[in-house]
A and B are shown apart, each in its own frame.
Chain A
Amino acid sequence: MKNISLLSVPLLLILGCSDLDESLSETTKSQNKSFASTYEPMQSQPILYKSANIYDGLGGEFLDYDLLIADGKIVEMGQSLAQSGINVIDATGQWITPGIIDIHSHMGVYSAPGVSTSSDGNEATSPVTAEVWAEHSIWTQDPQFALALKGGVTSFHVLPGSANLFGGRGATFKNISKNTIQAMKFPNAPHSLKMACGENPKRVYGNRRQSPATRMGNMAGYRSAWIDAADYRDGMQDTDSDKHPKRDLAMDTLVGVLDGEILIQNHCYRAEEMAMMVELSKEFDYKITTFHHAVEAYKIADLLADEGICAAMWADWWGFKHEAYDMVPANIAIIDQARNGTGCAIVHSDDEVGIQHLNQEAAKAMAAGNRAGFDISKAHAMRWITSNPAKAAGVIEATGSIEPGKDADIVLWTHNPFSVYARAQQVLVDGALAFDMNDPKAQPVTDFDLGIIQPQTIRAQ
């Protein structure tokens, strides 16, 4: 028996928020209590997948391996595993991967159908709206969640839109339909703050004859807000609590970033603008976790690798706006390979169709990279849609790879997931069967889908 790792590894790797608590300011700690996750996994039974081919999401490929899942966690990956009395699934010739994670989704805040009453993603009323939270907009019955699940997506990060310099907080979710937002929230996952560079903020506010109307106006707007945040934090740290400023939701968010508890997800296309944002982060001493869209990331790949910043990219979108004109399909590969392969590349969707096929988008990006002269394996490229987005969302301790003790967020594919013919046959979230292509009873149906075309039927999936 050749095992990758054994049961002796601790089963529970809770995200380290409790460890972090000591270093956080009182302001930040108080925020953690409100709107916290109430997520509970669906009921599950132990499962043993036999003779599967496995990408572990960390770069490993394991052919003809077994995978044991129990209590919602990954227990063991090895060969010739046996356990009596549990559900054994013959996965010969099929592929297993970690559940796919999308670091850039607007599901729930731009729900389907895309009507004006469901347009809840951009609080485009002021360039700085760090006080809004995407999760406060989400519609739990958005039919797009179930479609993404069918594409193997087990977790996703919902961001506000990019109209504003500071668009508000994003949050991470488990892809299990529930009737409250909190019940879908990924336990202990950090919030993010959406920032946006470039054309969008300057267009939205410039058209209203207000600042920012230029890229330099964008920069001035960010800097002013960070100055306010530093001031607010200083005020909150005064030993005399009577001197504390009145609580300010926007400042709470910005201070959360300065305290390292809230992760920056920064919409930014152009190379020099990303470099400018890096400089800004140094001026005010905060960390950028990910540049999103990053069409020109390949022009500053070494800088991003040196700074430890991920880039979340499309495989091939371009031309829809000027800052998306210099697309190269090897962008993702160039980021990945920067500084001897230490770059952090992510394939993201920002799209309700793309999120269903992130495996195909990764396949295109890998092929383009290899055509440009790199030697990137499928096992390695699988990181772009699993462990790397998990890292960027701050949930890598819990999900994003197949390792003992992690959440059993798993996809069983009909074919190799880098093929267009591959479909997710089974999707597990925390070890529970959230989707089974062969069992209509194991497929989620939102309230929206129910009886909407004809009362007797379910909307086609």
Chain B
Amino acid sequence: MKYLFLSLFLLFSLNAFTQSLLLKGGMVHSGNGEGAQIQDILITGNTISRVGNNLAINGTTEVIELNGLPVTPGLISPMSNLGIVEINALDVTRDDESDVLKAGFSIFNAFNPHSTGIPWNRSNGVTSAITSPGSSSFPLFGLASYFVLDGSLEIKGLKDIAMFGRMGSSYGSRAETLSVLESLLELGQKASAMPIEEVLEMRLADQLELQAQDILALKRLVDDNLPFVLETNRAVDILQAIALKKKYGLNLVLASVEEAPLVINQLKASKIPVIIDPMDNIPDSFDELGSSLMLGKVLDEAGIKIMFSTQRSHNYHLMRQGSGNAVAYGMSYETAIQGMTQTVAETFNLGARGTIAQGKIADIVVWNADPLEPSSFPEFVFIAGQAQDLSSRATRLTERYTNKENKPSAYKH
């Protein structure tokens, strides 16, 4: 019944004569870190045109009474493989790795808007996502892109918005990783002063079989303030990363940072934003001995900007559960909401998304209950003002197998 209701609503809201839509009386978490309040949201076209109380509307405005239901900006995953990995264990369904390119590997053109993970995550409140290359043995994995999860073949997003990489335990020494990383950044610096062809001929570039795309990407790291997401955990490695940021003027974002509480003052002073999985308190390696459920609280109290990754692929909406656990262990509630919305948009320069405010693109989720409870789900999802169909393969299969008609399931559709 629920799905049917939503489908009817969809038809209604997409009516061509509907110019504007009023979400009336929701408990609005704007995403900017401030407390929620009961407000109305007026959406005109793809944009939030007003937020306030008792907003004036004209006769053609459609009104949805929310009666206090929680409203948040559409959630933004800062770190996903949406659209480029269908099934992890099947290489033929993966487009997240390159044998040829390294730092300059862009996944943008591999994005499949019809991947089944997209409707699933969208129906769970994730309206856009950063998709990054998979990890590799090389310290820099390549370039991530940003995608709006409307499922359209007219792909909306931002190409090559961040570099992803990793430093820590591996088969070689982390001292070597760090040294290679510095040499690569220096190649990027050289690319400002000499032609790419000459940089490619330098000994390290030649030895690592770097391509022009790699050098251009390295140049963007040191010249263009390209966000650089570096996964690292050990306390002393975090200090090395902070030093790297200072030395090369990097726009650094640190991911995982399980031992951050041990170097919290230095991290705070560095103003580096972080991406964490608050539920991962397992000392999976000897880099993560300080891992704990208190990570979110400690970072929040230091005023560090926090975003959320999830433990497993395919379920990026579970950053709600992760941040909910962080709140259970002392992070502030609005920091959690902000970490899934505005902090991602600002850290990665995603434009007019990530908050519910006048002039922003209307990516909005209306929840049936507290969005940090993993048992909650969206009642409505809007992307750029358009109500989204909330069905997925999971809802189709559920309908089929809860249908008690006496015929083979293949005929229930």
Contacts and interface: CB of A to CB of B under 8 A. Distances in A.
A366 B375 contact: yes
A461 B327 CA distance: 17
A115 B285 contact: yes
A353 B374 contact: no
Contacts of A360: 321, 325, 374
Contacts of B329: 423
Contacts of B24: none
A418 B324 CA distance: 12
Most chain A CB inside 10 Å of its own CB: which residue of B311, B324, B328, B374: B374
Interface stretch (A173-181, A246-254, A322-330, A425-433): A322-330
Contacts of B60: none
A147 B282 CA distance: 8
A112 B289 CA distance: 10
Nearest to A421: B328
Interface string A330-345: 1000100000000000
B289 A452 contact: yes
A320 B283 contact: no
Interface in B319-352: 321, 324-325, 327-329
Given A115-B285, A322-B89, A357-B279, A372 B373 contact: no
Interface in A361-390: 363-364, 366-367, 371-373
Contacts of A353: 279-282, 311
Nearest to A448: B283
A114 interface: yes
Given A320-B88, A321-B87, A460-B261, A420 B321 contact: yes
Given A327-B394, A459-B289, A357 B325 contact: yes
Most chain B CB inside 10 Å of its own CB: which residue of A143, A319, A373, A423: A319
Nearest to B279: A353
A459 to B, nearest CB: 6
Interface in B217-243: none
A291 B134 CA distance: 32
A316 interface: yes
Contact of B402 (A316, A372, A423, A453): A372
Nearest to A147: B281
A298 B401 CA distance: 7
A368 B114 CA distance: 24
Contacts of A328: 394, 397-398, 401
B41 interface: no
A407 interface: no
A318 interface: yes
Most chain A CB inside 10 Å of its own CB: which residue of B87, B283, B327: B283
A364 B372 CA distance: 12
Nearest to B373: A420
Contact of B324 (A322, A367, A421, A459): A421
Contacts of A372: 398, 402
Interface stretch (B99-107, B182-190, B290-298): B290-298
Contacts of B377: 367, 371
A422 B328 contact: yes
A320 B314 contact: yes
A317 B401 contact: no
Nearest to A414: B328
A421 B333 CA distance: 11
A319 B314 contact: yes
B401 A371 contact: no
B289 A334 contact: no
B80 to A, nearest CB: 12
B87 A320 contact: yes
Interface of B: 1-2, 85-90, 116-117, 261-262, 279-286, 288-294, 311-315, 318, 321, 324-325, 327-329, 372-377, 393-394, 397-398, 401-402, 409
Give 9 closest A-B pairs by Cβ, nearest first. A420-B324, A367-B375, A319-B314, A460-B292, A321-B89, A363-B375, A320-B88, A421-B328, A328-B398
Given A112-B284, A319-B117, 16 more contacts: A113-B283, A298-B398, A299-B401, A320-B89, A325-B116, A334-B398, A352-B282, A357-B325, A360-B374, A364-B321, A364-B374, A420-B321, A420-B327, A421-B324, A459-B290, A461-B293
27 contacts: A113-B283, A113-B288, A298-B398, A319-B87, A319-B88, A319-B116, A319-B313, A320-B88, A321-B87, A321-B90, A326-B393, A328-B401, A330-B398, A334-B401, A353-B279, A363-B375, A364-B321, A364-B375, A367-B375, A420-B327, A420-B373, A421-B328, A423-B328, A452-B289, A453-B289, A460-B261, A460-B292
